[in-house]
Structure 1
Amino acid sequence: MLTITFYAFVAVVVIQLFYYLGIFGKFAFAKPQQTTPKRVPISVIVCAKNEAENVAKFVPLLAEQDYPDFELVLIDDASSDNTLDLFEGFEKQYPNIRLVKVENNEAFWGNKKFALTLGIKAAKHEYLLFTDADCRPDSKNWIREMSSCFTKEKTIVLGYGAYEKLPGFLNKLIRFETLLTAVQYFSWAKAGRPFMGVGRNLAYKREEWLNVRGFMDHMKIRSGDDDLFINQAAKGKNTTVCYTPDSFTHSEPKTSFKEWFTQKRRHVSTSGHYKTSDKMQLGAFYASQLLFILLAAVLLAFQYQWMIVAGIVAFRYLVAWLSLGFSAGKLREKDTVYFYPVFEFALIFVQLNVFFSNIFSKPVHWK
C-alpha cells in the first residue's frame, strides 16, 4: 500500500507542477505589461443597492477619471437607504453621469442581473467597464488602462480587483485567496481558455453581451453576473487581460471569518454552473492540493522513502512559491506569499467546509 501511495503522490505532484509551471507560469513569468492609450468611448457601469456610505466616497473618484470620452452609468437597485438621493446629487454635479432607477419587480426581486441589464441597455457607448459600488480605482488612469487593452479582436478585458490591506491573519488569507483566484483566471486566459472574471474590474463590448442573450441563460441564478457571463461568452480569441498597476481596483474585505465564509459559499455555489471542462480543471487543481498534503503526511509518517518524499515536497513548494511570488509581484501582493504553506493549508480547510456546507444548504445571494 505504501508503494501505491508513493506513486499516487508522485502523480499528484506532477499535476501540481503542470498547474504551477505549465499554466500559472504563463502569467507569473510573463513580461511586465505595456499598454498603448486609446480613445475608445467608454460607459462605466456601477450597480448599487443600499451602498450610501460607499458611493459617497467612490463615485467622485469614478466621475473624475482622466479619460477624454466616458460616461458613468449609476444604477440604483431599489435601495431603501439614501443611495438614490446621493446618485441624484451626483447627477446634478457631474455632466457625464447617467442615472438608472430600478423599481422592485416581482419576477426579478433582488436580482442584480436585472438591474445590470437595464444599465447596459441605457449605456450610450458600446464599450462597457464594470466595477462594484464598494470599489475604488487605484488611479485616475483606471479607465485608460483597461480600455487600452481593447482591440478589434479582443472585446473582453479581465482586470484585477484587489482588497485593501488591513492588519491580521484573516486579511492576508483573504488577499492570498484573491491572488490565487486572479492567477488562475489570468493564466487560463493567457492559455486561450478563459473561464471567469470578477465584476469588481471587468470590461467588454456590448455585442458580446448580446451574442449570449445577456444574462438570460442564468438569470434565475442570483449570482454570476460576472463569472457566469465570462464563462459563457469568453473565448481565447476575444479575451485578454489587464494587470498594469494603474488598472487595479480595491475594495474593503470582510473583517469577520463568518462574513467571508458566507461570501465564499456564494462564489463556490456559482462555480458549480461553469462549463464541465472548467469545473474539471478547477476540481483537479484543488483536489491535487489536498491530496499532496495528505499523501505526503502519510508517507513521511511511515518514513517510506522519506528522503525522496521530503525532496519532492521541498521542490514542489519551491516551484509553487516562485510561481505565486512572481505573480504577487505583478499584482502588488507580495506580503501574502511569505507564509504560503500556512495559507494553502488554511484555504484547503476552508474549501472543504464550504463544500460540505453547500451540500446541506444554499447560500443567500445579492442583497
Structure 2
Amino acid sequence: MVLSLLFYVFIVLVCFQILYFLIVFTKISFHKALSTPIKELSISVIVCAKNEEENLKNFLPSILEQNYANFEVVLINDASHDDSLLVMEDFANKYKNIKIVNVKNNEAFWANKKYALTLGIKASKHPYLLFIDADCKPRSNNWIREMSSQFQSGKNIVLGYGAYTKIKNSLLNKLIRFETMLTAMQYFSWAKIGIPYMGVGRNLAYTKNTFFEASGFMSHMHIKSGDDDLFINQIANSENTAISLSPDSFTISTPKTSFKDWINQKKRHITTANHYKTNHKFILAFYYLSQLGFWLLSILLLILLFKWEIVLTLFLLRILIQYVVFFGASKKLDEKDIIFFLPFFDFFLVAFQLTIFISNLISKPRHWK
C-alpha cells in the first residue's frame, strides 16, 4: 500500500518536472534575441571593492577599455585594509572617467556593503547604472554596449549573466558552473514569463531613478547580504525588467577553488533567499522539493524493484527531456561542456542544497568580508 502510494507520487513528480522543463526553462533554451538599434546612453559603472587590491589590478583595465563613449567608472573603496585605495588612485591618474568614493566604516552600518553602494550610487553622475564585482571582468569590450542596449525598450532593470572561469580537470569548477547556470536559467526564465525575482550583482543594471524611487536598500538594510537579489526581488516586475543573453554581455568571475569556500558562499546565498517575496519562495521551494522527491523515490523504488520497468522508463524519459532543454540553455550561456555530467550534477546539487539548508539551521553564515 505504502509503495503504491509512493509510486503514484513519483509519477506526479515526474510529470511536474517535465512540465517545468518544457514550460519554464524553454523560455531560455529557445530564446531569440531581438535586434534593436543601439543609442549610446550615459552609463555609470559601479565597482564596490573591499580588500580587492590584486583583482582591481587584473580586472579594471577590461572595464576601463570598453568600446563605449559615454561612461564613468565609480570605484568604491569599502573600508579596505589592503592597498585597494592606492590601486584605485593609480588608475584614476591614468583614466579621466574614474570617480573614487572612499567609504569608512559607519557605526550604524558597520561592514555593510549596501551602505557603501548607496554612497557610490549617490556619487555617480549618469542616469543609468551598471554593476560588476571587483573580482569580475567583462567577457568582451562590448559589455557596456550590450547591457545598456536592453534599456532601449523602456525597461528600467537589466539582468545579465555572470559566468565563472573554466578550469580544466576540476570537478568543483564544473559543479560551481552548473549551479550558476541553473540559477540563471531560473531567474532568466521567470523574468521572461513576467515574474522576475532576482539578479546577480556581478552583472546587473538599473536606472538611478529606480533606485531612489524604491528608497534604495532601506527596506532590507538590516540584512547584510542581498544588495543584488533582494533589491531586484523588491522592485522588479513584468513591465520594467529585461534580460541580456548576448555572449558579449556576460561577465566572468574567479570561482572558488575549495569546497569549504564554495559552501560558505552558498550558505550566504540561501539565507538571503529566505527574505524573497512569498510567491517567489513558493516557486523555488516547490521546484526544489520536486527535485528532491524525484531522486529519493527513483532510488527507493528501483532498489525495491517496485514496478521497476515503469519507474526506469519514466526516470529515463525525464532525464532525456532535461538533457534536451538544458543543452539548449547551455548553448545560450556557453556552458556546453558541463552537460555531459547532467544527471550526476543534478543529483549532487539537490543533496548539496539540503545539506546547506540543514547547516544554516545550526550556524549562521558570515557575510561581506
Q: Calculate the TM-score normalised by the size of structure 1.
A: 0.98
**Secondary structure of 2:150's match?**
coil
> How do residues 125-274 of structure 1 correspond to structure 2 at under 5 angstroms?
125-151=126-152, 153-167=154-168, 168-274=170-276
Count of aligned positions = 367
CA RMSD of aligned residues (A): 1.0
Question: Are 1:69 and 2:70 an aligned pair?
Answer: yes
Q: Tell which deviates more after alignment, 107-116 or 16-25.
A: 16-25
> How do residues 1-367 of structure 1 correspond to structure 2 at under 5 angstroms?
1-32=2-33, 34-151=35-152, 153-167=154-168, 168-367=170-369
One-letter identity of the residue aligned with 1:352 = L
- CA distance in structure 2 between the partners assigned to 1:314 and 1:3 by the alignment: 20
Q: Tell which deviates more after alignment, 24-33 or 201-210.
A: 24-33
State the Cα distance separating 1:346 from its structure 2 match.
1.2
Judge conservation of contact 1:35–1:145 (CA < 8 Å) in 2: no
State the Cα distance separating 1:35 from its structure 2 match.
4.7
Q: Could you list the per-position Cα deviations for residues 177-198 of structure 1 after superposition, in whole angstroms to 9, with x for gaps in the alignment? A: 0000000000000000000000
Q: Tell which deviates more after alignment, 29-38 or 311-320.
A: 29-38
With over 3 angstroms needed to count, the CA separation of the structure-2 counterparts of 1:191 and 1:317, relative to structure 1, is same
**Secondary structure of 2:189's match?**
helix
State the Cα distance separating 1:90 from its structure 2 match.
1.0
Aligned sequence identity (%): 56
User: After TM superposition, which residue ranges in structure 1, 4 or more long, deviate above 3 angstroms?
Assistant: 32-36
Judge conservation of contact 2:39–2:152 (CA < 8 Å) in 1: no
State the Cα distance separating 1:358 from its structure 2 match.
0.4
Judge conservation of contact 1:73–1:100 (CA < 8 Å) in 2: yes
- CA distance in structure 2 between the partners assigned to 1:126 and 1:15 by the alignment: 43
Judge conservation of contact 2:38–2:152 (CA < 8 Å) in 1: no
State the Cα distance separating 1:33 from its structure 2 match.
5.4
Judge conservation of contact 1:33–1:244 (CA < 8 Å) in 2: no
- CA distance in structure 2 between the partners assigned to 1:60 and 1:174 by the alignment: 26
State the Cα distance separating 1:272 from its structure 2 match.
0.5
Q: Could you list the per-position Cα deviations for residues 305-348 of structure 1 after superposition, in whole angstroms to 9, with x for gaps in the alignment? A: 22111111111101111111110001100011111011111111
Judge conservation of contact 1:33–1:243 (CA < 8 Å) in 2: no
Judge conservation of contact 1:43–1:123 (CA < 8 Å) in 2: yes
- CA distance in structure 2 between the partners assigned to 1:52 and 1:88 by the alignment: 12
State the Cα distance separating 1:38 from its structure 2 match.
2.1
Q: Calculate the TM-score normalised by the size of structure 2.
A: 0.98
State the Cα distance separating 1:34 from its structure 2 match.
3.7
Judge conservation of contact 1:157–1:239 (CA < 8 Å) in 2: yes
Q: Gapped runs of 5+ residues in structure 1?
A: none
**Secondary structure of 2:163's match?**
strand
